[in-house]
Amino acid sequence: WNIKEGNLTLLLSSCYEKMLPIAGQKKQELAALFDRDLELRIAMDKDRLEQVILNILSNSVKYTEEGGHISIDAKKEGSLVNIIVSDDGLGISAEDLPRIFERFYRVDKARSRAMGSSGLGLAISKQIIEEHHGSIEVSSALGEGTCMTIQLPLITHRGVAGIE
Q: CB-based contacts of 19: which residues, under 8 Å, 6+ apart?
A: 30, 54, 57, 58, 61
Q: What is the pLDDT of residues 101-125, one digit of tens each?
A: 777 556 654 444 445 555 678 888 9
Backbone angles phi, psi at 157, to 5 degrees: -140, 150
The pTM for the full model equals 0.85
Which residues pair with residue 12 across a beta bridge? none
Q: What is the pLDDT of residues 51-68, one digit of tens each?
A: 999 999 999 999 999 999
Average pLDDT (148-156) is 94
Sign, CA dihedral 43-47-51-53, equals positive
pLDDT greater at residue 115 or residue 41: 41
| E strands in the chain | 3-7, 29-32, 41-45, 69-77, 80-87, 135-141, 145-153
Burial track 129-141 (b if 16+ CB lie within 10 A, e otherwise) = beebebebebebe
Rg (CA), the chain: 16
User: What is the C-alpha to C-alpha distance for residues 10 and 7, in angstroms, rounded to an integer?
Assistant: 6
The amino acid sitting at 115 is: M
Q: CB-based contacts of 145: which residues, under 8 Å, 6+ apart?
A: 64, 86, 87, 88, 89, 90, 91
